[in-house]
Amino acid sequence: MERKDVTMVQHLLNHYLSQFNLAPVMDEEEVLHWFLPQDNIIDTYVVESSNGVLTDFLSFYTLPSTVMHHPLHKTLKAAYSFYNVHTETALLDLMNDALIIAKLVSNYHPMEEWGVLSIHCER
């Protein structure tokens, strides 16, 4: 995701979240704050159709933890799925892409854990 994608990501996110009874409504500034990639903090990737429209996006944040009392390992680097919106790409494919991307972006210290929490309320 780049700064130029903020408006389209905002639209995708708010449209997706509108199906729930309780959900945040994010303005462009909030989308910029929460989703614009920052090294070792948040990663967001968009899927763009052939005609330039963003159809999907995935995001995950990085959370390092201290490993105590181990002679070799000092930190555990984990990635946690954040917001994921899919309209054209199957969710399973989007999550598979997220796993691959998390591995690729962690060249210096590999991700050792991937966490996903699904909160869904039936209507």
**Whole-angstrom distance, CA of residue 59 vs CA of residue 44:** 4
Question: Does residue 16 belong to any structural domain of this protein?
Answer: yes
Question: Does residue 122 belong to any structural domain of this protein?
Answer: no
Question: Does residue 85 belong to any structural domain of this protein?
Answer: yes
CATH of the domain at 39: 3.40.630.30
Instruction: Count the domains in the chain.
Output: 1
Residue ranges in the chain whose pLDDT is less than 70: 107-109, 119-123
Domain, as residue range, for 21: 3-106
Measured CA to CA in angstroms, residue 74 lies from 48, 66, 71, 104 at distances of 39, 6, 8, 21
On whether the CB atoms of residues 95 and 85 are closer than 8 A, the answer is: no
Question: Does residue 95 belong to any structural domain of this protein?
Answer: yes
pLDDT for 70: 93
Contacts of 113 (CB under 8 A, 6+ apart): 76, 77, 78, 79
pLDDT for 69: 94
pLDDT for 117: 80
